[in-house]
């Protein structure tokens, strides 16, 4: 290869480096709806031709999670997360946070009303109950889980639809990016979104009145 060609290739490489915008994150597909029933759409799997092995069909990353949540990332410190909230929690320092007793080891948390959770409210159309809130749980490594807790009350006796609406948004993310689980305890619908590297902590469920 001649020197002129080398120089040309170097110049082309330098140009390409800044001319290409970063690929946009994969948007979370909306859940499909029919007359009265919602079908949740997890990301597809891709199988080989003889259907012996599979892998996720979409390349999803922490960026997709951040896009959905208004900039959150697992591992984030309480203060950093708090700075993203439209109405920050007054005392986000580690020692001021309450202990979450349902977890083994030291897990601390703070919560905000769902109405003031900004992007995490997910543009809900269904009712959430006046006391619905989002809890942020942290261990020594940072943000471990966000947990939506939608409590039924007189104005909104059934928060199932809202929980399903929130859940549908997270189901579109692969379990390798954010592990989404939903369940009911007492009159509360819970949607837990957990760091996929959290291991056995993923299986810890909150019990209304039991922790």
Partner 1 sequence: MTGRLLACALALLSAAQPVNAGPQSFDLDLHVPPVIADSTAPTKCTVTYVIADLANNDLYAARMRIDPAETDSPVHNRLPCPPDMPPRVGLRALDVCVSRSGESKYCVFADMSRGFEQRPDIHNTAENASRCASDKASDIGVACWMSGKLSVCNVACADSPQDALVRARARCEDKQQHDCPITATVPVSGP
> Smallest distance, Å, CB 112 to partner 1?
24
Q: Is 147 helix (H, G, I), strand (E, B) or coil?
A: strand
Residue 133: closest CA among 157, 115, 145: 115
Give the shortest CB-14-to-partner 1 separation in angstroms. Answer: 5
Q: In the complex with partner 1, which residue's Cβ is closer, 11 or 79?
A: 11
Is 147 or 180 the residue whose CB approaches partner 1 more closely?
180
Distance of closest approach, residue 135 Cβ to partner 1, in angstroms:
18
Q: Which is nearer to partner 1, 88 or 127 (CB)?
A: 127
Provide the CA 42 distance to its chain's centre, in angstroms: 14
Smallest gap from residue 144 Cβ to partner 1 (A):
17
C-alpha distances (whole Å) from 38 to each of 41, 165, 180, 183 are 9, 9, 17, 17
Residues that bind partner 1 (CB under 8 A): 3-4, 6-8, 10-11, 14-15, 17-18, 21-24, 29-30, 32-42, 44-49, 51, 54, 57, 160, 164, 167, 171, 175, 179-184, 203, 205
Q: Distance between CA 165 and CA 87 in Å, rounded?
A: 23
75 vs 147: CA distance, rounded Å: 15
């Amino acid at each position: 290869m001649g020197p002129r060609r080398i120089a040309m290739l170097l110049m082309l490489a330098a140009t390409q480096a800044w001319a290409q915008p970063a690929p946009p994150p994969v948007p979370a597909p909306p859940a499909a709806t029919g007359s009265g029933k919602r079908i949740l759409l997890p990301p597809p799997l891709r199988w080989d031709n003889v259907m012996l092995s599979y892998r996720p069909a979409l390349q999803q990353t922490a960026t997709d999670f951040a896009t959905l949540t208004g900039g959150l990332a697992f591992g984030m410190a309480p203060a950093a997360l708090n700075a993203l909230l439209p109405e920050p929690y007054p005392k986000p320092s580690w020692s001021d946070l309450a202990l979450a007793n349902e977890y083994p080891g030291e897990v601390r948390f703070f919560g905000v009303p769902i109405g003031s959770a900004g992007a995490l409210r997910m543009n809900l159309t269904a009712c959430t109950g006046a006391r619905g809130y989002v809890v942020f749980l942290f261990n020594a490594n940072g943000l471990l889980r966000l947990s939506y807790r939608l409590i039924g009350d007189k104005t909104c006796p059934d928060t199932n639809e809202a929980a399903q609406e929130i859940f549908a948004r997270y189901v579109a993310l692969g379990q390798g990016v954010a592990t989404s689980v939903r369940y009911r305890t007492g009159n509360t619908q819970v949607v837990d979104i957990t760091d996929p590297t959290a291991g056995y902590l993923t299986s810890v469920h909150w019990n209304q009145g039991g922790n």
